[in-house]
Amino acid sequence: MKNPHTWRYVTVQIMLVVFGFSILVQILRIQHSAEAKAILDKDPGGGVQTFYPARGEILDLKGHLLAGNKIVYEVGVDLQVLNENEYANANTIALAASVYLDLDFATVLNWITQPPEELRYIVLDNFASSDEEKALMDLQESVKDKPRDQTLEGLNSEPHLVRTYPEGSLAANIIGFVTQEGVGYYGVEEKYNSLLAGVPVKVWVSADPNRAEELPNIPPGVTLILTLDREVQASVEEILDAAILNTGAASGTVVVMDPKTGEILALAVTPHMNLNEYSRFKEIFPGETPFDRAISQAYEPGSVYKILTMAAALDKGVVKPEDTYWDSGINLIGGVAIRNWNNTVWGQQDMIGCLQHSINTCLVHVASLLGNDSFYSYMQKFGIGHTTGIDLAGEATGHLKLPGDSDWYPIDLGTNAFGQGVSVTPIQMVMAASAIANDGKMVYPHLVLAMVQDGWQQNISPQVAGSPISAATAHTLNDMLAISLEKESSNSLVPGYHIAGKTGTAQIPTPYGVYDSSTTNASFVGWGPVDDPKFLIYVWLEKPQTSIWGSEVAAPVFKQVVEKLVVLMGIPPDVVRLQPAGP
């Protein structure tokens, strides 16, 4: 499924590439012209140098800096100068480097006195801090009149920019990081690497220091304004970290999105890292640990998926909320017996009861009424088995088996109906659920709110991914999910706010083709206020230890996030918000 606003990003990238290419062509033309030859004759010490623009900044929607640049220094030794004085001050330079740059004295001395043949310059430290550089340059100035063997003659420094992350680990899995080579990895830094990096420019640089004012003023890369709210992000991360600690879960994910625009207000996952210490990446994310589980790790969601099955059945007209189903605790499909999650027999239930008690057999019945063609057609309309197109690097597709595939069997219709045998990413479930929360219109999730370059801001417009269900179906299912939570006295309920949602508890498949009943994925998806949703939240805790049930570990996390959101977003309780306007 393609994102219709991808063309905007592609267009901007193409324009920048064409602009940069035209500059390079012009430079090459000038370099080979008669004028260039005349300049070279007058200024033989000059030459062509490449200038790299400052990398564009990354800001939250309120202007807080999430990724910027700082000045560091390349500290090195001009070997020609040392060669002229027969390396008299090599020991002094090595000693200063060991004290101020924390380098090994013997190693530096060996670099200086025994360099590779024809090497004219040795870099001691390419990322010295401002304090380190200042201390060395001050020392160099203070000893310049001493005997040559006690000076720092030949020691040079040049400033350059490197990426810095003022918030450390905040939103780390969304932002990604930039290496010392200037390449973005993961998240926004990788997805928008070419735009953020800008266009390098090659120009002729005179050897005459008096002509320094002729150096080019290179415009920085594109600055990105994200949809994230820093305060919301920090609060959600704090809640998730506490939940991991309290439940003993192996990992966790919480996504908060505006279901009407697709704007991601917060996305918290574990583990996370201080982006300024990206060299620890392999330590924090060993093996195949995904950098961002919300977009890169597909899993069997379990009962949260039932909202899609029920949405399809209501929209197709094969069931109505008041229709009843007699649950005997077992349902046969494809010659295989499907049982309820706790082997309970629920007897006669309407469709709200089926959602409230999360009755597997009832959802198998509903899927059977839909049939293969309709069920899988609706699942594809919801985007299952496709990427969402979110503007982050590394999105996984998940997997939806279809009739006719070599690995599809008739029983899959039944198990898929309640979220087994199908894999999704959290962001896919968020996108699909937005259709139910947003009058049947499914929106593309996105992180970039606007791009800024040369003082010009281009806003990214929200895009609708499709309408898999009608507005009437969405309203009906909203009411059903809200009623089911209230009847259940769910741990997700927030006093004063009408909420719709669904829990999920999914056993985890083993490499041996069976499910491990002792470990689960616990989830909850919900949104509110029901009459005018301002947020949609997805919670996933992987392998919680204190309880295997989503209703006991994931639902309370949802509640805590909502309690924070209504304060930070200024959402009054329903009784205040819905009171009639005065005369």
Give catalytic residues, as residue numbers.
303
Q: How many CB atoms lie within 10 A of CB 33?
A: 11
Closest residue by Cα to residue 270 from 257, 287, 283, 253: 253
Using CB atoms within 10 Å of the CB of residue 191, give its burial: 0 to 12 exposed, 13 to 18 middle, 19+ buried. buried
> Do the beta carbons of residue 190 and residue 178 sit within 8 Å?
no
- DSSP-derived pairing of the beta strands 223-226 and 58-59: parallel
Instruction: Using the CB atoms, write b or e for 523-556: b if 16+ within 10 Å.
Output: bbbbbbbbeebbbbbbbbbbbbeebbbbbbbbbb
3-state helix/strand/coil string of 313-329: HHHHCCCCCCCEEEECC
Angle, alpha carbons 300-267-560 (nearest 5°): 90
Residue 143 carries which DSSP code? T
Alpha carbon distances (Å) from 171 to 344, 422, 427, 520 = 42, 29, 16, 26
- Give the HSE-up count for residue 456: Cα atoms under 13 Å, Cβ half-sphere: 6
506 near 360, Cβ under 8 Å? no
Partners of 161 in the beta sheet?
71
| Cα(54)–Cα(68) distance, integer angstroms | 9
Output phi, psi for 472, to 5 deg: -60, -40
246-258 in b/e burial notation, b at 16+ Cβ within 10 A? ebebebbbbbbbb
What is the rounded (10 degree) CA torsion for 386, 253, 291, 8?
A: 50
Report the SS3 class of residue 152: coil
Q: Is 330 exposed, middle or buried (0-12, 13-18, 19+ CB in 10 A)?
A: middle
First vs last C-alpha separation in the chain: 49
Which has the closest alpha carbon to 485: 582, 311, 353? 353
> Hunting for tokens 């004219």 — which residue is that?
120
Helices 90-100 & 105-113 angle (0-180, nearest 10): 140
3-state secondary structure of 142: helix
Residue type, 51: F
Q: How far is Cα 58 from Cα 404, in angstroms, rounded to an integer? A: 46
Helices (H), ranges, 337-447: 351-356, 360-381, 411-417, 426-437
Rounded Cα–Cα distance for residues 354 and 323 (Å)? 10
